[in-house]
Amino acid sequence: AEGDAGSAGSGGEDGPEPRPTPTPTDVGSGERTSAVSKRGSGGSADAASTTATSDAPEPAGRETTLATPATRKVARERGVDLDDVPTDETRDGEAFVTAEAVNAYADALESPDESTPEPADVDVGAGTDATAATGAADAAGAASGDETVPYRGVRRTIGKQMERSKYTAPHVTHHDTAEVDALVEARAELKPKAEASDVKLTYMPFVMKAIVAGLKEYPYLNSELREDDEEIVLKGEYNLGIAVAT
């Protein structure tokens, strides 16, 4: 009887057997993993579905455009109206268009859409930080009166062409002083003969001839660097371009 009473008393005091306490790893781990996975996959889907496209370039629609004869020839060959080519350059207060800008505009007209970039992996934390930083930058720009202009289409194409030209073509400016008394005398002597043939003799042809003579003496000034082939080509021809505003 005492054994039965002890058993009964023990059972009444202890009550129902407690459930095992879950470890921190078990508590909601499936839910957290699922939530993170959903956020991550959602971000990747957004990145994958994002495409960078550009509209066809809008014509500038100017009434007057300055350009060199060579640029006008390029425009005729490409079937482009110079007044429609966007440009930020000016000459004497009028818009000035280069051959590079004409080619870039024509290329953009032929293929206005840019290629779709590959989707990148999305870091949820980094995306949040980047969004916050972008928002702060936009707010600061708006407060200072900044204006954001899309950089795509013909502007982007022109930018790439200018970057390529800047890298591949040497940009050198040299100033010097020379005594050209003999040149002045030679021009004065030849001027009457030129006028008899209805030719206005200026100093330009003398300068052009002097340039060619200088290039012959220093051939590396008339050379081309072929970086991929690891060689320098010394040109056998001399092509001079005289730029004038028309």
DSSP 4-67: HHHHHHHHHHH-SPPPPPPPTTTTTHHHHHHHHHHHHHHHHHHHHH-----PPPPP---S--B-
Q: What phi and psi values does residue 197 have, to the nearest 5 degrees? A: -95, 15
pLDDT value at residue 42: 44
Question: Strand pairing partners for 63?
Answer: none
| Helices 124-144, 29-49: crossing angle, 10 deg rounding | 50
Domain ranges of the chain: 56-112+150-169, 181-234
Task: Tell me the three state secondary structure of residue 190.
Answer: helix
The confidence score (pLDDT) of residue 125 equals 57
Per-residue pLDDT of the chain (246 residues; tens, 9 = 90+): 444 444 444 444 455 555 555 444 444 444 444 433 444 444 444 444 444 445 667 888 898 899 998 899 999 999 999 999 999 888 888 899 999 999 999 988 887 554 444 555 555 555 556 666 666 666 666 677 888 888 888 888 888 888 888 877 777 888 889 899 999 999 999 999 999 999 999 999 999 999 999 999 999 999 988 888 899 999 999 999 888 776
Q: Calculate the alpha carbon distances from 190 to 181, 211, 213 in Å.
A: 14, 20, 21
Concatenating the DSSP letter of every residue in 140-181 gives HHHHHT-------THHHHHHHHHHHHHHHS-----------H
Locate 225 and state its tokens. Answer: 């660097």
pLDDT score for 163: 85
Give the pLDDT of residue 128: 57
Residue-level pLDDT at 44: 44
What's the start-to-end Cα distance of the chain, in Å? 125
